[in-house]
Structure 1
């Protein structure tokens, strides 16, 4: 199965995604923000990156741009609940920057696995 990097500052969301993906047969590792995520990807490139949008240190849109610039064929799913700016819908911007799929929080494990299958073509 796939190697997936999950970038999310919310420990509960990151843990849920890690569990969902490993139960689905994937190998998954987590990072707490975009800086940590990009560093993790450079050390061990993943087949897929799932990144939150609103995070401290380096948010998801900057992370998507940086990863896409260095790794043009990278597969990305962007996730967001809007954070403190819940009325701000940036998921279309994430798609415009190169995310193949987006998920709005809260989502179910089944929705995550469907999105992963869609993006990986499995």
Structure 2
């Protein structure tokens, strides 16, 4: 199974993702904002990182850009429910443009999460 880092400022979203992933045997760690996520990932890289797009400290675009610069092969899943006057589809398109491998719009299903993680793991 994989090690997955969840970066989201919403504790409920982190808890939901943790439960979904741990139920499938993945190891999970969490960060409550983008700055914390990048710092933790830099010290302990994971197989996959799931990042929200709108967060304090560093937003998802900054997280994606910084991690892709430092770890070119990092596998990133971006998630968004919209906000700040932008819809989720726009945020997720931007995430793809900056290097996210997969995107999920909130609310997402358990199966959508597992499919995205499974696809990234299958792609090697």
Q: Same fold (TM over 0.5)?
A: yes
Distance 1:60 1:72 in 2: 16
Q: Secondary structure at the match of 2:30?
A: strand
The reply to whether residue 24 of structure 1 matches residue 24 of structure 2 is yes
Could you say which residue in structure 2 is the equivalent of 1:46? 46
Could you say which residue in structure 2 is the equivalent of 1:6? 6
Distance 1:2 1:87 in 2: 30
Mark the runs of 5 or more structure 2 residues left unpaired by the alignment: none
1:87 to partner: Cα distance: 2.9
Q: Secondary structure at the match of 1:83?
A: coil
Output aligned runs, 1:1-122, within 5 Å. Answer: 1-87=1-87, 89-121=90-122
RMSD: 1.2
Residue 81 of structure 2 contacts residue 87 of structure 2 at CA under 8 Å; is this kept in 1? no
Normalised by the length of structure 2, the TM-score is 0.94
Q: Secondary structure at the match of 2:96?
A: helix
Normalised by the length of structure 1, the TM-score is 0.95
How many residues are matched?
A: 122
1:119 to partner: Cα distance: 1.2
Distance 1:87 1:19 in 2: 26
